[in-house]
A and B are shown apart, each in its own frame.
Chain A
Amino acid sequence: MTDLAIVTEKLTRRFGALTAVDNVDLRVTAGQFFGFLGPNGAGKSTTIKMLTGLLAPTSGRMQLLGLDFSSHTVEVKRQIGVVPEGMGLFERLTGAEYLHFVGRMYGLDHATTLQRTQELLEFMQLADRPKSMIADYSHGMQKKLALAAAVIHGPRILFLDEPFEGVDALAAGALKALLGRMTARGVTIFLTSHVLEIVERLCSHVGIIHQGRLVAQGSIEELRAGIAGSEGGKTTLEQIFLSIVGQSGGERTQIEELSWLT
């Protein structure tokens, strides 16, 4: 049997009358590069927040690396890394100070933290501004730092909420290479992104959530095969996504005429 890194059973989260995540059953195998897709407001961030301990589920179960999240919270958190929505940075620390802070929060010893901090800053090309505060970093630099902080303790699962947003092409290439190496070493990566090309290029498996419900899950090939009436050529992830979400969601496919704009 394949090792499952992430398992959710009937995971549900309600905000008053609104059900943001509705009975989601996720299966992510260890070492998979898993893309979690959905339109705005579909429940992606809510799901990732629940999986990383930032939000409590209303009902349902979560198992990460075979451990029940609710009863082994600290053990699970020790083995996961997170780049949350908004990045979760302490903006009035320098990059080095922040990485040191996070390393120590994850229980790394002093020497290891210092060594990894230095290595990560150099890898992320942030070492040339050791004295700048994070508040003065560009958005892309902050993203890189948030990713560095998420991996400093060598997590077995990495949760990334829009990791490439605002990152330049050069840095994005380096990050993709890093993430690729991590999955090759058995790290599970769970990412959300609106850029479907990136997901298609990086992820082996995807899950699509729409209006709180998981409407599709599997490898990209499996999803491709499941699309009825696909054109002769290779169906792109965007086409798969639109065919699952675009029409069923009842979104407007036609742009209304905004005569006053022209």
Chain B
Amino acid sequence: MADVAQPVGILKQVWLIAGLRWRLLHNSLRRKQNRLDLLGLIIVSLLAGTFVIGVCFALFVGASDFVSSGRSSWLSLFFWAIFLWWQLFPIIAAGFGISFDFRTLLRFPVSFGAFYVIGLAYGLADFTGLAAVCWIVSIILGAAAANLALLTPIFLVAVLFVIFNVALERLLGSWLERMLARRRSRELFFAVFILLMVSVQLIGPFLNRYGDSVGSWLPRVLPYFAYFPASLAGSGVGAASEGHYGEFALAVAGIACYAVFFGGLLWLRFAAQYRGEELSQAPAPERTLRNSVGRRSEMDALALLSPQVAAVVRKEIRYLLRNGFAALLLLLPPILVFALITQATLFRFSGAASGTSPELVFPGLMAYIILILMAPAYNSFAYENTGVQTYFTAPLKFRDVLLGKNFVQVSLIVTELTLCIVAFYYRVGLPSAPIFTATLAAIVFTVVGQLSIANWSSLSFPRKLAFGQVHGQRQSGMAVLVAFGAQILLFGISSLVLALGRWTGDRWLPAKAFALLAAAAFGGYIASLDALTSYAEKKKEKLIEALCR
């Protein structure tokens, strides 16, 4: 029996896993659904690739200019931008990540070394990592084009910077997952977020009152940033370009220390996982959930809805509140909006941007919130798992399920929009009545218009997502593409209507047009429910198969 137990080297194991990934992809393409998914992913990747390539050109030109003009240390700015992108974007756009959870490899005799290397490699294999690496390569090429002697130093700096970023991103993601999997830490995390949201509002008045003293603080604080990896990377390249190799060596050593430190922490984190810790299946503590059934006996708050729709609404709300990552994503838009409002307020206080006007900012912010909040609706069965079968065994029409899900979606949007409108009114002021009315009507039009398309997309391109996980998640490529197309279409129509208003000089024209469009979208939505009920019946096998697998 023991004759099979031949030790397998790290490289061989990594190679085997690469082969496994290829085989999984290859076999998955036998299904039409997966082929469509891949097609969607390729199209979305092409669009994202355009953005990445655009930034690549900018960084190439910028790096070349900095080096040729003797300002090599200014490359720190680029490294800071890449650092922020690498650490923050994965949280916002985890849906573009990879769909294979490398922790499933634990059942094989994978050595810890291979497990660690594969874990790091997966940090490089997502959109964020690939884009960042492309940009770093552009900086290297730009700098080398201006001064070929810099190629080796900047390459060394870049490699260490990449290792540091991958390790930190994997570590943060891993801890975030672990934290959001537990109720107490999740609540604490959300409390901090809400405090942050409130405190962002105080930055404006604070700077307004203490702006001068803050201004004098800034030069004293900025030098400390020099000790962070992004600054070290820039200063290291700068030192190398001036022939100060001692400083260069110090900078490289500094980045290496960061890489080793975070790589070590990640080593400990992965070691815990390697020993069998399952991050996202933290036990639901006995004290975590109040007995909601008992509480319901006092009053049925959803009595106005049919029992089936109300049941779906309750289930959706519970799932949302218990899915830490999804809930976090819902908190992000208002936070960013508050931050933007504060920025706008700051500009107004300083008089630097006298053109900042609620007439433009208000519709823009509302469009942004809808863009973010509508995205999950395009794969709304993602977390149902085998439970989706209940929808088909229960004596109901599928329209009830869609209505329940859409009700929760719309309620969330309304709540967040209301919060943002109140904050906007408080900090900036409302736009004129025609713009305000037109924006509200446009919101109804775009939300209701998208709901019908999103329902269709959810039934057509379902993809199972793991509850509460940050890593190893990827939305259906086609669903992302449909969402993208629908949003471009609806926002395109909206822009056209706004342009028409400006062209005719009739300030109330957009409001009237959007009201008409909203009514049409609403009619279309109601009409679509029955059609989608029949469609769900046709698609149920694929839906169940995709979610129960």
A84 proximal to B (CB < 8 A): yes
Pairwise interchain contact A136-B318, C-beta atoms closer than 8 A: no
In the assembled complex, the CB of A190 is this many whole angstroms from the nearest CB of chain B, namely 14
By beta carbon, the residue of chain A nearest B541 is A55
**Minimum CB–CB distance for A245 against chain B, Å:** 27
A106-B307 Cα distance, complex, nearest whole Å: 8
Do A88 and B389 have beta carbons less than 8 Å apart? yes
The reply on A130 being an interface residue by CB < 8 A is: yes
CB distance B291 to A90 under 8 Å?
Answer: no
Q: Of A76, A91, A105, A114, which contacts B308 at CB under 8 A?
A: A105
Name B318's contact: one of A77, A88, A97 (CB within 8 Å).
Answer: A97
Is A54 a contact of B323 with CB atoms below 8 Å? no
CB contacts (< 8 Å) of B288 on chain A: these are 131
User: B171-208 interface mask toward A, CB cutoff 8 Å, 1 = contact, 0 = none?
Assistant: 00000000000000000000000000000000000000
- Docked CA distance A180–B117 (Å): 57
Q: Is the CB of B392 within 8 A of A105?
A: no
Q: Which residues of A contact B3 (CB under 8 A)?
A: 260
| Distance, CA A74 to CA B323, complexed state (A) | 32
Which stretch of B292-300, B345-353, B442-450, B469-477 is in the interface?
A: B292-300
Task: Decide if A54 touches B540 in the complex (CB within 8 Å).
Answer: yes
A-B pair number, CB within 8 angstroms: 133
B319 part of interface (Cβ distance < 8 Å): yes
| Interface presence of A174 (CB below 8 A) | no
In chain A, positions 97-148 with a C-beta closer than 8 Å to chain B are 97, 100-102, 104-110, 114, 117-118, 129-133, 135-136
Chain B 274-301 near chain A by CB (<8 Å), digits 1 or 0: 0000000101101111111100110010
CA of A181 to CA of B333 in the docked complex: distance in angstroms?
55
User: Do B395 and A54 touch (CB < 8 A)?
Assistant: no
Nearest CB in chain B to that of A80: its residue: B393
- Is A261 an interface residue, CB under 8 A from the partner? yes
- The closest CB in chain B to the CB of A130 belongs to B291
A56 at the interface (CB under 8 A from B): yes
Task: Determine whether the beta carbon of A88 is less than 8 Å from that of B386.
Answer: yes
Please name all residues of chain B whose beta carbon is closer than 8 Å to the beta carbon of A80 when the two chains form the complex: 393
Q: Which residues of chain B come closer than 8 Å to A53, judged between CB atoms?
A: 392-393
Q: Which residues of B contact A118 (CB under 8 A)?
A: 293
- Please, what's the 1-or-0 string for A18-56, where 1 marks a CB less than 8 Å from any CB in chain B? 000000000000000000000000000000000011111
In the bound complex, residues from chain B placing their C-beta under 8 Å from that of A130 are: 291, 293
Q: Which residue of A lies closest to B283 (CB)?
A: A136
Interface positions, chain B 242-276, Cβ under 8 Å from A, are none
B315 touches A54 (CB 8 A): no
Closest to B467 in A: A92
- From B290, which residue of chain A is reached at the shortest CB distance? A131
Interface residues on B, range: 35 or more
Instruction: Please tell me if the beta carbons of A132 and B284 are within 8 angstroms of each other in the complex.
Output: yes
The answer to whether A54 touches B389, judged by C-beta atoms less than 8 angstroms apart, is yes
Is B359 among interface residues, defined by CB-CB distance under 8 A?
no
Asked whether, in the complex, the Cβ of B318 is within 8 Å of the Cβ of A74, the reply is: no
Contact, CB under 8 Å: A92 / B291: no
Q: Does A87 contact B (CB under 8 A)?
A: yes
Say yes or no: A78 contacts B389, CB within 8 Å: no
Q: Does A89 contact B (CB under 8 A)?
A: yes
Contacts of B385 in A (CB 8 A): 89-91
In contact, B387 and A90 (Cβ under 8 angstroms):
yes
Check B308–A104 contact: CB distance below 8 A.
yes
Give min CB distance, A46 to chain B, whole Å: 11
One of A87, A90, A93, A105 near B396 (C-beta < 8 A): A105
The residue of chain B having its C-beta at the shortest distance from the C-beta of A81 within the complex is B393
Contact in complex: A107, B308 (CB < 8 Å): yes
Closest to B4 in A: A260
We find that the number of chain A residues with CB closer than 8 angstroms to chain B is 46
Encoded as 1 (CB less than 8 Å from any A CB) or 0, chain B from 208 to 248 comes to 00000000000000000000000000000000000000000
B310 and A104 contact, CB distance less than 8 A? yes
The distance from the CB of B152 to the nearest CB of chain A, in whole angstroms, is: 53
Is B311's CB under 8 angstroms from A84's CB?
no
A75 on interface, CB distance cutoff 8 Å: yes
Asked whether any CB of chain A lies closer than 8 Å to the CB of B161, the reply is: no
**Interface residue A96 (Cβ < 8 Å from any Cβ of B):** yes
Q: Which of B284, B297, B395 interacts with A135 by CB under 8 Å?
A: B284
> In the complex, are the beta carbons of A77 and B394 less than 8 A apart?
yes
A5 neighbours in B (Cβ, 8 Å): none
B384 contacts the other chain (Cβ, under 8 Å)? yes
| B307 and A104 contact, CB distance less than 8 A | yes
Is B286 a contact of A132 with CB atoms below 8 Å? yes
B293 touching A102 by the CB < 8 A rule? Answer: no
Inter-subunit contact B386/A89 (CB<8 Å) = yes
Say yes or no: B283 contacts A74, CB within 8 Å: no
Q: State whether A131 touches B291 (Cβ < 8 A).
A: yes
Residue interface mask B8-46, A partner, CB < 8 A = 1: 000000000000000000000000000000000000000
CB atoms of A92 and B307 under 8 A apart: no
B277 to chain A, nearest CB (A): 16
Q: Does B5 contact A (CB under 8 A)?
A: no
Q: Does B530 contact A (CB under 8 A)?
A: no
A100 touches B293 (CB 8 A): yes
Give bound CA distance, A118 to B297, whole Å: 12
Q: Which of B292, B307, B467, B540 contacts A97, CB < 8 Å?
A: B292
B537 within 8 A of A: yes
Can you pick out 20 interface pairs between chain A and chain B where the beta carbons lie within 8 Å of each other?
A54-B540, A55-B541, A74-B397, A84-B393, A86-B389, A86-B548, A88-B388, A88-B390, A90-B319, A92-B318, A100-B296, A100-B311, A101-B314, A102-B390, A104-B310, A105-B308, A105-B390, A108-B307, A129-B286, A261-B1
In the A-B complex, the 4 residue pairs with the closest CB atoms: A104-B311, A90-B387, A88-B389, A78-B395
**Interface positions of A (Cβ within 8 A of B):** 52-56, 74-78, 80, 82, 84, 86-94, 96-97, 100-102, 104-110, 114, 117-118, 129-133, 135-136, 260-261
Q: Chain B: residues with CB nearer than 8 A to chain A? A: 1, 3, 281, 283-284, 286-293, 296-297, 300, 303, 307-308, 310-312, 314-315, 318-319, 322-323, 383-390, 392-397, 467, 537, 540-541, 544, 548
Beyond the given pairs A76-B395, A97-B315, A135-B467, 8 more chain A to chain B contacts, judged by CB atoms under 8 angstroms and listed by A's residue number, are A54-B541, A56-B537, A56-B541, A75-B395, A100-B293, A100-B314, A105-B395, A118-B293
